[in-house]
Amino acid sequence: MSAQSSSTVRVGVIGTGHFATAVVTQSQSIPLLDVTTVADLNPDAARRAFRLAGVPDDTIEWCESRTDALAALEKGRRVIVEDALLLMELPLDVIVESTGVPEAGARHAQAAIAAGKHVAMVSKEPDSVVGPLLAHLARQAGVSYTPVDGDQHGLLIELVRWCRGLGLEVLCAGKARDGEYFYDRTALEVRGGDYVQRLRSRDSRWLSPLRPLNLPGLLRERMDFLAALPGVGGWDITELVIAANALGLRPDDPYDGTGGGRLHGPAVYVPEIPQVFCPQTMGGILENRGVIDILTSLRIPEAAGLGGGVFAVVHAATDYSRQILATKGCLTNPAGDAALIYRPYHLCGVETPVTLLAAAQQGSSTYSEAYRPQWDAVMVAKRDLAPGEILGTDHSPDVEVLVAPAQSIAQATAWLPVHLGSGCKLTAHVLAGAPIPVGAVVPPAGSALWALRQQQDEMFGIG
C-alpha cells in the first residue's frame, strides 16, 4: 500500500527502454525514492539501467522466484526478475509500467491494482484503450493510477487542469511534435533531423510570420509549400486521445467513417500559436472551442521553440484579466482575447520521480473521475489488406491512425482501436482508405486487454 510521506517510496519498474532507464538513473538523485526492482525479459537491459544509475555490479542480483527476490532485497541488493508479475508479490509501493506492449501493459496494471500498488502508466498504448477503466478500478482499490510527468499527455493534462483551475477557458490544447524545423534565412533552407528543404529567395514569403488578414488561407499555402515535412505520427494521436478523454476535449473534425479524424497539425512559430489555435470567429482556424490538436514547431535558429512541449490557448472572461495575461508574459492573438500558456519541453523519465512520490505519498493521480472513454485512436488502411496479415502498431506504414468517437467492441462493425488490434490477424479484406472493423480480426485467446475493453464499454455505456 502507499508509503507515508516520511518513508522511502519503493519502486518497481517493468521494462527498461529509453524512458524507464531514465527513471532508474534519476531516482538515484531523489531523496526518499528507491527503485529496488526491475523486471525485463532481457536481464541485460535491466542490468544496464542499474549500471547507468551508478549501481555496482556486485549489488545487483538476478532472481527467479519471490523467495529469492525477498532475500536479495533484505540484503539491500537491487533485484532483476524476468517475470513482471513477481513484482506484485514484493514490498513495493509503486509499479512503473513501461513495456509499451498493449496486452502486457494492461495485464500488469490490472495485477498491480489488485495487489494494492500504485501504477504509474508510462505505456500509453494500453492506456488509450482501457485507461478510464483502470483508473476506476484503482480508485475502488484505494490506489493511484496515473500518467507521468515527463510524458506529453500527462503534462498536458496537468497544464489544462491548472488553466481551468484559474477560471480560464481552454480554447485549444495540444502538444508539439518532438522534431523542430529550423528556417535558416542565411543558408536558405528548412532543416530538422534528416529533413532538409532548399529554398529560393522568393520562397521566404511562405515562411514569413502569418498576418491576421486571411490567416487560414496563408497557413494553407505554407503547409502546401512544406508538404514534404513528415506527417503527424500515430503515436502522437494515441497520446492526444488519452488527453482528450481525460480533459473532455474534442478533435475539431472527428472521423466519421469516410473522412475527418486528422488533427490540423500546422507548422507554426511559437508567437503564431494563439492566432492559429483559436476559433474562426476570433481569427483562427478552429470550428469549435475546447479542441485537442498538435503542431509542428517552426523556428529561426536564434529564437525559442516548442519541440516536445505542450500548450494551451486560453480565453479570460474579463477585459482586465485579458490585459493581465497580455502584459505579464503571455503571447496573444492580435485582438488580445486568446493567450498562449505553454511548456516548451518534456523530460521523459527525468521528471517521472515527481509522479512516483506524489502517487505513493499523497495517493494523487493526474487523472480525475472525469476520465471517460469518449474517443479512440482507430485504424484506417493505407493499402489493401488481405486475410492472414498481422496488424502492426501505431508506427505501421500500412495504417493511418485517426481520432474517432469511441464505439463498443461488441459491435463487429465498430472501428478497431489501433492498440487493441496490434498483433491481431485479419480475417477479411480491408480496402485502402477504409476503417478496419473489429469483426475483421481474431481477438487473442485469453486477452486481458480485450476483456478489460469489453468491461469498460459496458461500464461507461459505450454503444
Q: What is the pLDDT of residues 97-120, one digit of tens each?
A: 999 999 999 999 999 999 999 999
Residues 305-312, mean pLDDT to the nearest whole number: 93
pLDDT at 2 over 80: no
Looking up residue 136, the CATH number of its domain turns out to be 3.40.50.720
pLDDT at 121 over 60: yes
The answer to whether 377 touches 242, Cβ cutoff 8 Å, is: no
Q: Are residues 46 and 118 in the same domain?
A: yes
Cα separation of 118 and 110, whole Å?
A: 11
DSSP single-letter state for residue 134: H
DSSP single-letter state for residue 230: -
Q: Are residues 285 and 169 in the same domain?
A: yes
Q: Are residues 164 and 265 in the same domain?
A: yes
The tally of domains found in the chain comes to: 3
Q: Are residues 63 and 205 in the same domain?
A: no
Q: Are residues 164 and 287 in the same domain?
A: yes
Q: Is residue 236 part of a domain?
A: yes
Q: Are residues 15 and 127 in the same domain?
A: yes
Q: Are residues 202 and 271 in the same domain?
A: yes
Q: Is residue 189 part of a domain?
A: yes
Task: Write the single-letter amino acid at 184.
Answer: D
CA angle 213, 218, 223 (to 5 degrees): 160
Q: Are residues 159 and 178 in the same domain?
A: yes
Instruction: Bin 49: left if φ > 0, else alpha if -120 < ψ < 50, else beta.
Output: alpha
Question: Among the three residues 95, 116, 150, which one is the final residue of a domain in this structure?
Answer: 150
The answer to whether 421 touches 443, Cβ cutoff 8 Å, is: no
Q: For residue 105, which phi and psi values (nearest 5 degrees)? A: -60, -45
Q: Is residue 351 part of a domain?
A: no
Q: Are residues 317 and 238 in the same domain?
A: yes
pLDDT at 178: 86
Question: Among the three residues 100, 127, 150, which one is the final residue of a domain in this structure?
Answer: 150
pLDDT at 23: 98
Q: Is residue 362 part of a domain?
A: no
Q: Is residue 394 part of a domain?
A: yes
Q: Which domain holds residue 227?
A: 155-346
Q: Is residue 218 part of a domain?
A: yes
Q: What is the pLDDT of residues 223-255, one digit of tens each?
A: 999 999 988 999 999 999 999 999 999 999 999
Q: pTM above 0.85?
A: yes
pLDDT at 4 over 80: no
Q: Is residue 2 part of a domain?
A: no
Task: Give me the residue label for grid cell 490538436.
Answer: 293
Question: Among the three residues 96, 129, 150, which one is the final residue of a domain in this structure?
Answer: 150
> What is the total residue count of the chain?
463
Q: Are residues 80 and 105 in the same domain?
A: yes
Strands 339-343 and 375-381: unpaired
For residue 460, how many other CB atoms are within 10 A of its CB?
A: 15
SS3 326: helix
pLDDT at 1 over 50: no
How far lies 432's CA from each of 233, 292, 435, 436, 451, in Å? 18, 27, 9, 10, 29
Looking up residue 437, the CATH number of its domain turns out to be 3.90.1210.10
Q: Are residues 53 and 177 in the same domain?
A: no
Q: Are residues 33 and 107 in the same domain?
A: yes
pLDDT at 179: 84
Residue 55: closest CA among 84, 24, 91: 24
Q: Is residue 308 part of a domain?
A: yes
pLDDT at 111: 98
